[in-house]
Amino acid sequence: METNSVKIAEKSEVKVLKEGEYYTLRFRSTGLGKTMLEGEPADIQIVDDMLVMHIQSTTPVRWRIRAALSFRGLLKVVKMAMKPSVLKFILFGFKTLKKPNLPDDF
């Protein structure tokens, strides 16, 4: 198995949030019910023929979450990101640098 990346530390430090700060990623899963996980991107690696993204969840549990994308999967994500509403968010997202409003159900 070929890996091209910076080595990931086994134990990552817990980021202490200052007042007004928030975690950049939020997750929900049907298997977890209404539980919402919060976390930060940790790393991206190329492993064999896959792009692997590592997420460090921080609240309410500390898990290392991985998602692997094939080249076709990556192209699909890029294609989905070409929607006008998503491009607008990418280009003008700086307007939500404050703590963003979180929908009840996403």
Task: Provide the residue ranges of all domains of the chain, joining segments of one domain with +.
Answer: 17-96
Residue 37: pLDDT over 80: yes
| 12 burial level (CB within 10 Å; 0-12, 13-18, 19+) | middle
Q: pLDDT tens-digit profile of 73-105?
A: 999 999 999 999 999 988 887 776 666 677 777
Q: Provide the pLDDT for residue 16.
A: 61
Confidence grade of residue 19 (pLDDT, cut at 50, 70, 90)? low
Which of 20, 40, 34 shows the shortest CA–CA distance to 104? Answer: 34
Angle at 100 (CA atoms; ends 94, 103), nearest 5 degrees: 135
Q: pLDDT tens-digit profile of 41-65?
A: 999 999 999 999 999 998 888 999 9
Which of 8, 78, 66 shows the shortest CA–CA distance to 39? Answer: 66
Paired tokens of 55: 């997420």
